[in-house]
Structure 1
């Protein structure tokens, strides 16, 4: 559903100045007004993702790339790894 096709109703939000500035900054980064930002979040067109979830996803992507690299196909026994690490 396109949020611009819906009738809008005025709502009031109470935020700290710091929080409002953060919302405005986020909207500007996406080239949206604050109203459009809230509309897109509310309609499921934009999702908020925690930074640690993004980091986990990027780590997973790196692991898949490393595993697919032909140079990483040699398997080293765990005992050898522990010995090399001094464990």
Structure 2
């Protein structure tokens, strides 16, 4: 059976998911304000990126590191010798 949504012909497919998987997909679709078929369509067309949690954590760590570098550049840096002198070493 073909349907037309967003001016593209659609075919009917069947997916098998666990209850947790289905609930998760429905939750994501709801948060994005789309239906499950629209969510899958957007993922399939590359309009939405899917990242696993480890990749997301790495990306956030990279952002934190870059923010630290920018902060150090704006505020200036202190030499190791100055740190030792202030600590009384």
Same fold, judged at TM 0.5 (above): yes
TM-score scaled by length of structure 1: 0.74
TM-score scaled by length of structure 2: 0.73
CA RMSD of aligned residues (A): 2.1
CA contact (8 A) 1:27 1:33 kept: yes
Which of 3, 6, 9 is matched with 1:4 structurally?
6
**Greater RCO, CA 8 A, separation 6+:** 1
Give the aligned partner of residue 50 of structure 1: 52
After TM superposition, where is structure 1 displaced by more than 3 Å over at least 4 residues in a row? none
- Superposed displacement of residue 19, structure 1: 1.1
Could you say which structure has the larger radius of gyration? 2
Q: Find out whether 1:65 has 2:62 as its counterpart.
A: no
